């Protein structure tokens, strides 16, 4: 268990609670956030100096692209990966990217190096959409991702990822009562909620672009239209 976070200078660390049963090895404090001077950066690596110590941090291409130049101050959200023979730091400018990285680590067969490769191979919002929509073909376009890995990503993460920020999604908070009834009916038929919501978004977009305003669709009409979209 983690007791919480403590701050030591410009390094935030999480501290491990004592193990009352003494059944596990003592865990050293984990670095969770790092602020300092950026000494060097490469597409997969950054060197950050804090209090005279240079930390070698593995980064993704999106983080590299958004980083300032060498000599500037930089702050990174850190995931510390510990193995018996090594301690590696993975850094992210955006907390959302770190959280997605940690979600990827929960997928069987995906380790830190592959997770960084995945984040570097497709924009985060596009990847989340592909996973939620079960778009295996799009995921396999990421270098290093085969069909089986893509299928595991969809199976294990589809219902665990939030909609991308800014997405015009029909959700329980936004859907009308009729739309929510349609979503529930489609889920009961075996469709994933994300797919049902996507179908309703498509129908709403078509209606919005129509030249003449149409009255609000009934449950039966909306349900049939959604089935039609899902069957394509």
- Per-residue confidence (pLDDT) for residue 11, from 0 to 100: 63
Q: What is the pLDDT of residue 158?
A: 87
* Bridge partners for 11 per DSSP: 8, 34
pLDDT, tens digit, 9 for 90 and up, residues 69-124? 999 999 999 999 988 888 899 999 999 899 999 999 999 999 999 999 999 988 88
Could you tell me if 229 and 170 are in contact, meaning their C-beta atoms sit under 8 angstroms apart? no
Encode pLDDT of 143-176 as tens digits: 889 999 999 999 999 888 877 655 544 444 456 7
User: For the domain 96-157, what is the CATH code?
Assistant: 1.10.150.20
2-19+26-93 to CATH, choices 2.40.50.140, 2.60.40.10, 3.40.50.720, 1.20.210.10: 2.40.50.140
pLDDT of residue 27: 46
Give the pLDDT score at 71: 94
- Across the range 206-222, mean pLDDT stands at 70
Q: What is residue 216's predicted lDDT score, i.e. its pLDDT? A: 65
pLDDT of residue 179: 84
User: How crowded is the C-beta side of 216, counted as CA atoms within 13 Å?
Assistant: 5
pTM for the full predicted model: 0.62
* Domain spans of the chain, in order of start: 2-19+26-93, 96-157, 177-230
Helices (H), the chain: 61-66, 95-105, 112-121, 124-132, 136-139, 147-157, 177-188, 193-209, 219-230
Residues 214, 211: Cα–Cα separation, whole Å: 9
């Amino acid at each position: 268990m983690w007791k919480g976070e403590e701050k030591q200078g410009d390094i935030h660390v999480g501290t491990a609670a004592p193990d009352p049963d003494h059944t596990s090895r003592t865990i050293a404090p984990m670095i969770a956030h790092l602020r300092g001077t950026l000494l060097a950066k490469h597409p997969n690596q950054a060197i950050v100096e804090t209090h005279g110590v240079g930390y070698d941090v593995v980064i993704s291409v999106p983080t590299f692209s958004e980083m300032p130049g060498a000599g500037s101050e930089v702050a990174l959200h850190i995931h510390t990966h510990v193995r018996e023979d090594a301690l590696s730091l993975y850094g992210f400018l955006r907390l959302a990217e770190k959280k997605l990285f940690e979600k990827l680590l929960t997928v069987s067969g995906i380790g830190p190096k592959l997770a960084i490769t995945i984040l570097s191979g497709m924009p985060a919002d596009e990847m989340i959409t592909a996973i939620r929509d079960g778009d295996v073909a799009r995921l396999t376009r990421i270098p290093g991702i085969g069909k089986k890995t893509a299928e595991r990503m969809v199976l294990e993460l589809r219902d665990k990822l939030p909609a991308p920020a800014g997405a015009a999604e029909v959700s329980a908070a936004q859907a009308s009562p009729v739309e929510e009834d349609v979503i529930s009916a489609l889920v009961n038929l075996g469709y994933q909620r994300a797919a049902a919501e996507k179908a309703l978004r498509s129908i709403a977009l078509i209606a919005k672009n129509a030249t003449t305003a149409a009255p609000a669709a009934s449950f039966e009409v909306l349900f049939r239209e959604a089935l039609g979209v899902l069957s394509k």
